Structure 1
């Protein structure tokens, strides 16, 4: 009798379980704030909003791909929370993050794009009894140290590199209202993350020296860590809004709309290439 009761209970709860954990393949697309995901949302066919614990996720189609889009909010905690909700509720096969960043590579200009082959927390550290800093986070599941740098998924990284040359990107605005004729540079590099808007040339040099950073932002490594620990392929795309120096706030206001769209255009091209 108990056996049949358990089978009946399983049958009754199956619809609710299936609704929460859908088996249809889906790609997760995240950005920190509205401007970073605006172009992505505008490109969706048959958009539908789903609210999960107060976070608005928008499902829809991009070409042949079923996707779910969300704003994480600014900062590492917001990014990690939204990523965890995304993974738990929608079970995406992969996660891509689109957004802006400050440039720490002196060869890059606002508008240029960094495809992150790896990401790291630049503001995470502990000090041992020997006064040796440890910068690695610890996996709450395995209790083991994570790598200092979270590697991007090799398949997504290769696809991004292949399609980047065919994406039409916007030129950089000039002070006179025109657009620079300098081609937007797309490179593969290192992105570092911290809960701070970097507006210091000295700090930018430090991040470049200590981590080999090409860009710095406030969400990428948090998204990467959650995906790494739960074994979900991920890729972080960042377009530069400033050079993370003393003029960063001024440059940010001027360049972030163009930078956000350029990053989103590359992410859209990646999704179309899946």
Structure 2
């Protein structure tokens, strides 16, 4: 009897080990897809009106509800896609992106929406495609103006598990120093973020910039989307154009430079100028860098398109910004860039 029990126990142990081995191999090979395992391009839109345009262009639509949020699969410009609206904020963007990657087999990520312009050389309606994104509001808020030294050496934050962001010379980037009209005295020293992924495990790695995918950026550099000066609602019933619902210059596609995201709605001209001079930033919004962080942690390539609505930090009403939204131009041009990119992506030479 004991020999029989031992034999059965040994067989059960072998069976359990065999059952567990495929799971380990699957985890090493890549993420699971809880809802749909068809390879897709994941499109995260931060602006509902633009998402509606993309959905209207999508064929074979199928809706999936995950924790109350709508994810729509189908075909868009010859690509299998899954489209979701993130909603405003870094937290929402992070949560939705991870849900997207958990439930669908997303091989590439596209983020699109509206941003505030930082570079005065850009104009309302221009669509930017940064080659990297950063989170400048991830800071060490120091009481003084010099380098913080919580670990005994100026600029060393290692005892806190933190690391300051540095420039090309290896020195910490200049801090933002608010004045009395902004926030209490002190200085905001830019930090890097720690990212843990299969590629960086087990220690993880620190990043300030999140580069977009080089292949996707190369495709974006070659597209010529049909950007308009007047939105669809600028056309009157008699066919004439209401110039009050048009921007002054024909919008351009601007590829390259740094985009930045933060947890605040930026309405501070001093901080806008700081971002431009210190980081050479071109746009500011509240979602893309969070998506980029999740993309890096999951080893998924990404790119982002952002239509400029105004000069970030402006406090007075901007008639062009009003025209951009009122006429439907913001969502129309943003969707045009996304669709043009997807068309070019489908036709790209395969490696």
Structure 2 SS opposite 1:97: strand
Q: Does residue 39 of structure 1 match 2:32? A: no
Report which of the two structures shows the higher radius of gyration computed on alpha carbons. Answer: 2
2:228 to 141, 155, 170: 170
- Which residue of 2 is the match for residue 77 of structure 1? 91
- Which residue of 2 is the match for residue 223 of structure 1? 291
Matched residues in 2 for 1:197 and 1:18: separation?
35
Matched residues in 2 for 1:74 and 1:220: separation?
10
Deviation sequence 1:190-243 (CA, Å, 0-9, x none): 110001121232221111112111010000100011101211010011010111
Q: Aligned-pair distance for 1:180? A: 4.5
Matched residues in 2 for 1:42 and 1:230: separation?
29
Q: Does residue 254 of structure 1 match 2:323? A: yes
- Which residue of 2 is the match for residue 204 of structure 1? 272
Report the TM-score when normalising by structure 2: 0.69
Q: Does residue 158 of structure 1 match 2:172? A: no
1:130-169 pair list within 5 angstroms: 130=153, 132=155, 133-141=189-197, 142=201, 143-163=203-223, 165=224, 167-169=225-227
Query: 1:136–1:145: 8 Å Cα contact kept in structure 2?
Result: no
Q: Does residue 268 of structure 1 match 2:342? A: no
- Which residue of 2 is the match for residue 59 of structure 1? 73
Alpha-carbon distance change, 18 to 230 in structure 1, aligned in 2, over 3 angstroms: closer
Q: Aligned-pair distance for 1:144? A: 3.4
Q: Does residue 213 of structure 1 match 2:281? A: yes
- Which residue of 1 is the match for residue 259 of structure 2? 191
Q: Could you tell which deviates more after superposition, 244-253 or 26-35?
A: 244-253
Query: 1:104–1:208: 8 Å Cα contact kept in structure 2?
Result: yes
Structure 2 SS opposite 1:242: strand
Matched residues in 2 for 1:248 and 1:54: separation?
36
Deviation sequence 1:120-165 (CA, Å, 0-9, x none): 00210136525643511111444434321100000111111111x2
Q: Aligned-pair distance for 1:96? A: 0.2
List gaps (5 residues or longer) in structure 1: 11-16
Query: 2:212–2:301: 8 Å Cα contact kept in structure 1?
Result: yes
Q: How many pairs were matched up?
A: 268
Aligned-pair Cα RMSD in Å: 2.8
Matched residues in 2 for 1:56 and 1:222: separation?
20
Alpha-carbon distance change, 9 to 33 in structure 1, aligned in 2, over 3 angstroms: same
Q: Could you tell which deviates more after superposition, 244-253 or 233-242?
A: 244-253
Report the TM-score when normalising by structure 1: 0.87
Higher helix proportion, which one?
A: 1
Matched residues in 1 for 2:226 and 2:79: separation?
21
Matched residues in 1 for 2:33 and 2:91: separation?
27
Q: Does residue 182 of structure 1 match 2:249? A: yes
Q: Aligned-pair distance for 1:36? A: 3.1
Alpha-carbon distance change, 58 to 205 in structure 1, aligned in 2, over 3 angstroms: same
Q: Does residue 108 of structure 1 match 2:122? A: yes
Q: Could you tell which deviates more after superposition, 202-211 or 100-109?
A: 202-211
List gaps (5 residues or longer) in structure 2: 1-10, 22-30, 143-147, 156-188, 235-241, 346-351
Matched residues in 1 for 2:19 and 2:154: separation?
60
